[in-house]
A = this chain, B = another copy of it.
Amino acid sequence: MAESWSSSVDAHLDWTPGSGRAGLAAAVRAAIRDGRWQPGAVVPSTRALAHDLDVARGTVTRVYADLAAEGYLRTAQGAPTRVATAGASPLPAPVPATEPAYRWTFRPGRPDPSLFPRDLWLAATRRVLSHAPNQVFDYGEVRGSNVLRATLSAYLGRARGVLADPARIIVCSGFNHAIGVLGRALREVGITETAFEDPSIGRFRTVASAAGQRVVGVPVDASGLVVSELDSPAVVVTPAHQFPLGVTMAPARRTALAGSGAVVIEDDYDGEFRYDRQQVGALQALAPERVIYAGTASKSLAPSLRLAWLVLPRSLVDPVLAALTAVGAQPPLLPQLVLADLISSGAYDRHVRRCRLEYRDRRDRLVAALPSHLTPEGISAGLHLVLRLPSSVEAGLPAAARRHSIALERLSPMWMRAVEEPGGIVVGYGAAAKNAFTGALRAFLSMLGELT
């Protein structure tokens, strides 16, 4: 209500002329709620209020009837209409969400949002909306769009070496959601403990734990997860590019893990982005009845799409569907169809290639510019690398980052074990907008110079 004034001294209504029945009802509700119209009080007669406000008496009558139906007013045959409720206490002012705004970002685990292919997405949306059958606007299938699952089946086989029969593919609202659903499903098949790589992302461990899994850690060395120390019936791993350390799991470890008997959740979060010549296909194909492959559009397109997919061992399809139903969340259908269109038209591959070149270029610039006493780790793939720092240096990082207005993440909070591990920075060079990377890099180097 742009124009609003008290139109009736007696009625104390903040009411806008011309706002009709709905506007008048809103004004009366407000008056009741904030106590201007007291509980139990007789309300102005319809005739008086209509005259005061210069509206039709029928309008007032209908508003009173509406508000009586809503429980604000009490009407009775032959008795005056009264305010029925004590009203609610006035609402407090909203608490604004406050987050420190950084000028530059090197936060790991996210792609450059300025690379999102807006035109491609719009064009694919247009194609989907012009061709999709009406069923697309009914309830979707719990397991995800049939079209997307068939498309992913071919794509994952070709791009990642995954054995991905569409009947085993489930679409989720991001890997976060997938981990929660899997935690529930594993519990249903009797698995109540899930190991995570140490270090790894705490958020996923929290979700697994909320889904009823006991969470334990397994160390990671230069060859990846130390499989000989795995003693849990399920484990979450990042074999292509360990998060955060960036190591690639060695062949013998892959074989050992595939044959370990554990249910393996293979988080292939940045499998599309590999910069050296050595391709590393998915672990899943080694043991498709033990390995759950998890992929996502969060790095290749945008995290805010909240789209991930699982390729499941046959025995887990039904438990996962049951868990999905129990959690009650599923991703919307339209974006799934848009993604399927992008993949099958080849636009997705071209987009990924463009991004890969951009991120490789950033990595090269970052690595070349680092001070010689710092050796970056995990540089062969993905959107981040690691700089190890003594704990005492890492301790000064938050303050230094604030001074230079850089959002970034420390390594040490990602460790699970109690013993002290070396600190460091997990440097997400993918996160900055393309046109801000040069400035971000300069700020980062300047901060590093101060720190080390």
In contact, B126 and A122 (Cβ under 8 angstroms): yes
Interface class of chain A by DSSP: helix
A389 at the interface (CB under 8 A from B): no
Comparing A282-290, A340-348, A363-371, A396-404, the segment that makes contact with chain B is A282-290
Q: How many copies does the complex hold?
A: 2
- Please give me the residue from chain B that is nearest to A23 by CB atom: B158
Task: Give A425-452 as 1s and 0s: 1 = Cβ < 8 Å from B's Cβ atoms.
Answer: 0000001010000000000000000000
In contact, A91 and B134 (Cβ under 8 angstroms): no
In contact, B138 and A176 (Cβ under 8 angstroms): no
Comparing A47-55, A328-336, A351-359, A409-417, the segment that makes contact with chain B is A328-336
In contact, A88 and B286 (Cβ under 8 angstroms): yes
In contact, A110 and B129 (Cβ under 8 angstroms): no
In contact, A167 and B335 (Cβ under 8 angstroms): no
Task: Give A155-188 as 1s and 0s: 1 = Cβ < 8 Å from B's Cβ atoms.
Answer: 0011101010111100011101111100000000
A295, B307: Cα distance in complex, Å: 24
In contact, A161 and B26 (Cβ under 8 angstroms): yes
In contact, A332 and B335 (Cβ under 8 angstroms): yes
Q: Which residues of B contact A418 (CB under 8 A)?
A: none
In contact, B113 and A135 (Cβ under 8 angstroms): yes
User: A73 CB to closest chain B CB, in angstroms?
Assistant: 8
Which residues 12-56 of A sit at the B interface, judged by CB distance below 8 A? 21-22, 25-26, 29, 33
A277, B288: Cα distance in complex, Å: 60
Q: Which residues of B contact A5 (CB under 8 A)?
A: none
In contact, A251 and B207 (Cβ under 8 angstroms): no
In contact, A69 and B304 (Cβ under 8 angstroms): no
Q: Which residues of B contact A395 (CB under 8 A)?
A: none
Q: Which residues of B contact A29 (CB under 8 A)?
A: 161, 281, 285
Q: Which residues of B contact A146 (CB under 8 A)?
A: 97
Q: Which of B89, B139, B306, B325 contacts A331 (CB 8 A)?
A: B306
Q: Which residues of B contact A72 (CB under 8 A)?
A: 286
A327 at the interface (CB under 8 A from B): yes
Which residues 259-274 of A sit at the B interface, judged by CB distance below 8 A? 259
In contact, B331 and A334 (Cβ under 8 angstroms): no
Which residues 113-144 of A sit at the B interface, judged by CB distance below 8 A? 113-114, 116, 118, 121-122, 125-126, 129-130, 134-141
Known: A110-B138, A258-B85, A328-B176. A248 touches B304 (CB 8 A): no
In contact, A180 and B254 (Cβ under 8 angstroms): no
Comparing A60-68, A190-198, A228-236, the segment that makes contact with chain B is A60-68
Q: Which residues of B contact A66 (CB under 8 A)?
A: 278-281
In contact, A165 and B91 (Cβ under 8 angstroms): yes
In contact, A283 and B70 (Cβ under 8 angstroms): yes
In contact, A304 and B333 (Cβ under 8 angstroms): yes
In contact, A305 and B334 (Cβ under 8 angstroms): yes
In contact, B163 and A74 (Cβ under 8 angstroms): no
In contact, A327 and B140 (Cβ under 8 angstroms): no
Q: Which residues of B contact A177 (CB under 8 A)?
A: 327-330
Q: Which residues of B contact A325 (CB under 8 A)?
A: 206-207
Q: Which residues of B contact A26 (CB under 8 A)?
A: 157-158, 161
Q: Which residues of B contact A215 (CB under 8 A)?
A: none
A222 at the interface (CB under 8 A from B): no
Known: A71-B258, A161-B26, A176-B329. A138 touches B302 (CB 8 A): yes
Further contacts, 16 of them, CB under 8 A, given A86-B259, A138-B431, A173-B331: A25-B281, A66-B278, A70-B161, A74-B251, A84-B251, A88-B285, A88-B286, A116-B134, A137-B301, A138-B302, A138-B303, A177-B328, A207-B325, A304-B334, A332-B332, A334-B335
Question: Can you pick out 9 interface pairs between chain A and chain B where the beta carbons lie within 8 Å of each other?
Answer: A69-B280, A70-B280, A74-B255, A85-B255, A85-B258, A96-B167, A140-B306, A173-B328, A206-B325
Interchain residue pairs A-B with the least CB separation, the first 8:
A94-B167, A71-B254, A329-B329, A113-B137, A210-B326, A176-B328, A137-B302, A304-B333
